[in-house]
Amino acid sequence: MPPLPRIARTALLLLAGATLAGCASAGYYAQSIQGHLALMGAREDVGRLIRDEDTPDALRSRLILAEEIRTFAIEALALPDNGSYRTYADIGREVVTWNVVATPPLSLDPVAWCFPVFGCVAYRGYFAEEDAIAFARTLVAEGLDVTIGGSIAYSTLGWFRDPLLNTMIFDPDYALAGTIFHELAHQRLYVNDDSMFNESYAVAVEREGMRRWLAAHGTPELVAAYRASEQRREDFVTLVLGARDRLDALYASDRSDAEKLRRKAAIFDQLRADYRVLRAAWGGYAGYDRWFAQDLNNANLASIATYNATVPAFDALLASVGGDMAAFHAAAEALGRLPRAERDAALARLAEGAG
């Protein structure tokens, strides 16, 4: 499997794993514990690094920026004021974990793996890429659609002092801000057994936070770069979710499985063709080429949907409280307390009302 672009933001700490049928293997439990301890052990205090004469200037300037972003998150976005992102860790690789996502071949619903405390999530994370690939192969052998995505951030949902990482620190200013806002949103609100709710809420906070950060601190050049990046992201998401909708309708139809598989392949072929047109409209921007270079399947689309499908509903919720972030978080928390069916219905109404 080829390496994937960094679409996924977060790897949640899942120390006590479980397979679909019960407790996970001792090996999975051990790699989770060992990876977590190694990451926590690599942390260094940001303030000390900033003061240390041996800290490279490039890193020092990014850590100073991260501290400013952290303060902004508390004051302007009503996000938690805790020990997270007050430390820094260089883990010596480009991603922190590799997340395996799987779906049935004729379904867009991701397989869920369930864990004590954190509930069920739509992926299973590994600290070593080879372990993720080995697990993915077992799922492929079972006939599932499978993908692996790398995460640039790591969240313990506030149980530990989550560090800034080398995987994120040198991203563009707006992207670094967005990552910090996204991860702190998970610490503000996390609903067990609903990955799409959690990630779409965090993406909504991330995007609103980036807009406010840029309005307060952005240069014209940085604002222009963000707007161009955001437009491409929205174009990409619209393209992918459109294909997902077509597949969803196909899978719900009364066609034979053989016909569904044939039409499934045609929809993915059309998705690639549509991307080539979109890429040309972007002037040849190639940032999503690696994603489309994969052997695309349902799991790829499920991953994108988890992070984006209900963002419009959260945008509408924020608008309904006049942009008041504290009120927005409280309203989202109220939604999170609803039974799943009622929560989904409420989000659907919000999205519909937003047009």
Give 205-266 as a 3 state SS string. Answer: HHHHHHHHHHHHHCCHHHHHHHHHHHHHHHHHHHHHHHHHHHHHHHHHCCCCHHHHHHHHHH
φ and ψ at residue 104, rounded to 5 degrees: -65, 160
Q: In which band, very low, low, confident or very high, does the pLDDT at 214 lie, cut at 50, 70 and 90?
A: very high
DSSP three-state, residue 16: coil
For residues 136 and 146, give the distance between their C-alpha atoms in angstroms, rounded to a whole number.
Answer: 6
* CA 171, 158, 182, 79 torsion-angle sign: negative
Q: Residue 317: is it exposed, middle or buried by C-beta count within 10 angstroms (0-12/13-18/19+)? A: buried
Cα–Cα distances (Å) from 78 to 181, 204, 329, in that order, read 10, 14, 8
Q: What is the pLDDT of residues 3-29, one digit of tens each?
A: 333 344 445 544 433 333 334 467 787
For residues 144 and 138, give the distance between their C-alpha atoms in angstroms, rounded to a whole number.
Answer: 9
For residues 198 and 11, give the distance between their C-alpha atoms in angstroms, rounded to a whole number.
Answer: 12
What is the model's pLDDT at position 25? 67
Q: In which band, very low, low, confident or very high, does the pLDDT at 87 lie, cut at 50, 70 and 90?
A: very high
Half-sphere CA count of 10, side-chain side, radius 13 A = 31
Q: What is the pLDDT of residues 282-332, one digit of tens each?
A: 999 999 999 999 999 999 999 999 999 999 999 999 999 999 999 999 999
Q: Are 177 and 69 in contact (CB under 8 A)?
A: yes
Residue identified by tokens 């014209």 is 220
Q: In which band, very low, low, confident or very high, does the pLDDT at 235 lie, cut at 50, 70 and 90?
A: very high
φ and ψ at residue 108, rounded to 5 degrees: -100, 5
For residues 226 and 178, give the distance between their C-alpha atoms in angstroms, rounded to a whole number.
Answer: 11
* CA 243, 245, 247, 250 torsion-angle sign: negative
- The pLDDT of 167-192, averaged and rounded, is 96
Q: Are 287 and 224 in contact (CB under 8 A)?
A: no
Q: In which band, very low, low, confident or very high, does the pLDDT at 278 lie, cut at 50, 70 and 90?
A: very high
Give 302's contacts (C-beta < 8 A, 6+ positions apart).
101, 103, 108, 109, 110, 122
What is the model's pLDDT at position 30? 86
DSSP three-state, residue 183: helix
Give 76's contacts (C-beta < 8 A, 6+ positions apart).
209, 212, 213, 216, 325
* CA 53, 57, 60, 65 torsion-angle sign: positive
For residues 266 and 4, give the distance between their C-alpha atoms in angstroms, rounded to a whole number.
Answer: 23
Q: Are 285 and 233 in contact (CB under 8 A)?
A: no
Distance, C-alpha 146 to centroid of its chain: 17
Q: Provide the whole-model pTM.
A: 0.90
Residue-averaged pLDDT of the chain: 91
Of the listed ranges 83-92, 102-111, 154-163, the least confidently predicted one is 154-163
Q: What is the pLDDT of residues 103-138, one digit of tens each?
A: 999 999 999 988 776 778 889 999 999 999 999 999
